[in-house]
Amino acid sequence: MRIAAFRALRRINHRVLEHARMLATDSSPAVRREVALALRDTAFDTARELLLTLARGYDGNDRAYLEAWGTGCTGKEPQVYAARAAAAALPERERISAITALGFIPTRASANALLDLAQKSSGMVKAHAMWWLMNYKDIHWKDAGINAALKARGLYDPDTVSITPSIVPEPEPTKLPSAAAIAKLQGDATKGAATAQACLLCHRIGDKGNEYGPALSGFAQAQTTEVVINAIINPSAEIAHGYDGVQINLRDGGQVHGILLSGGDPIVIQSMGGLTQMIPASKVRGGARQQLGRSLMLSADQLGLSAQDVADVVAHLKTQ
């Protein structure tokens, strides 16, 4: 009866939002679905609180409710995803998923939302927003004035950008015992946890560290002890897929070693410690990049680790 009454009121456009506010917390999910559908042609600023109220009423299982809520967001997708991406209370992975959704919306509103996120956010949220902008500014949003907006907001100006050289020194032959010999040592997981803090500069262990190299949670448990040890003492022996290093030779001298995130103009490269830089093609000597041909990871010798240190770190990683 409430659904029929609400539909009748919608049909004559009689105080629809007023009735929608009253029914947004109705005990029946079917009634709340009807409210969501009624918001389809309502502007975001007007519908925002109602949509949030309806979202709070979602039980996580009712597919029809979810579809109705999505219909209520029609035409408001950039604002909805932008609000989700900016919500600091959400897990980072969910905020990044919202940014990915924005990246697939080829509208000016979506581009502006990404610009706002790149300017006001930090960490991986900012990095992902910038990635979409730099990779698709001349494709999805070629008429949205992204280059001028990036410059005006202080996010990227090819004429004034400062580039920090970052070189991973080539390792000398290891002076440590073989992986098999180190595997025979008794590792101390507690000491290894302290020593492994150096790994967090480039790797993520649990909820700590940087996403520059592969995440290490679960890695050691899935490998033999010798494989894990060899990855530490001889990181170039086997490089994980997607983590091949590149070398950018700068026109003004110096080099940048890292993982290529975008090969356009600018080149986007991430170096040790998660440092991400945008390098205009005009500042690259020869206008090209080349494969580094070795791991971007410092070896155990370069990190000053002893054989016992390595054994301790592996013991710690086996618990993660």
User: With bands split at pLDDT 50, 70 and 90, how would you rate the model's confidence at 58?
Assistant: very high
Cα–Cα distance, 82 to 44 (Å, whole number): 12
224 shares a domain with 257: yes
Number of domains in the chain: 3
Cα dihedral across residues 271, 92, 63, 23: positive or negative: negative
108 shares a domain with 22: no
**Greatest mean pLDDT among 68-82, 246-260, 286-300:** 68-82
Where does a domain end: 40, 72, 104? 72
User: With bands split at pLDDT 50, 70 and 90, how would you rate the model's confidence at 19?
Assistant: very high
Considering the chain, what is the average pLDDT of its residues? 91
18 shares a domain with 109: no
192 shares a domain with 257: yes
The CATH number given to whatever domain includes residue 271 is 2.30.30.100
284 shares a domain with 240: yes
pLDDT tens digits, one per residue of 296-305: 999 999 988 9
287 has a pLDDT exceeding 80: no
96 shares a domain with 228: no
Cα–Cα distance, 218 to 220 (Å, whole number): 6
280 shares a domain with 165: yes
DSSP per-residue codes, 96-134? HHHHHHHHT--SHHHHHHHHHHHHH--HHHHHHHHHHHH
Which of 150 and 288 is assigned the larger pLDDT?
150
5 has a pLDDT exceeding 80: yes
267 shares a domain with 169: yes
Where does a domain end: 107, 132, 152? 152
Q: What pLDDT sits at residue 4?
A: 96
Cα–Cα distance, 9 to 112 (Å, whole number): 36
- Which pTM value belongs to this model? 0.67
63 shares a domain with 167: no
Where does a domain end: 152, 187, 208? 152
214 shares a domain with 192: yes
230 shares a domain with 120: no
Cα–Cα distance, 299 to 307 (Å, whole number): 12
Range of the domain at 191: 159-320
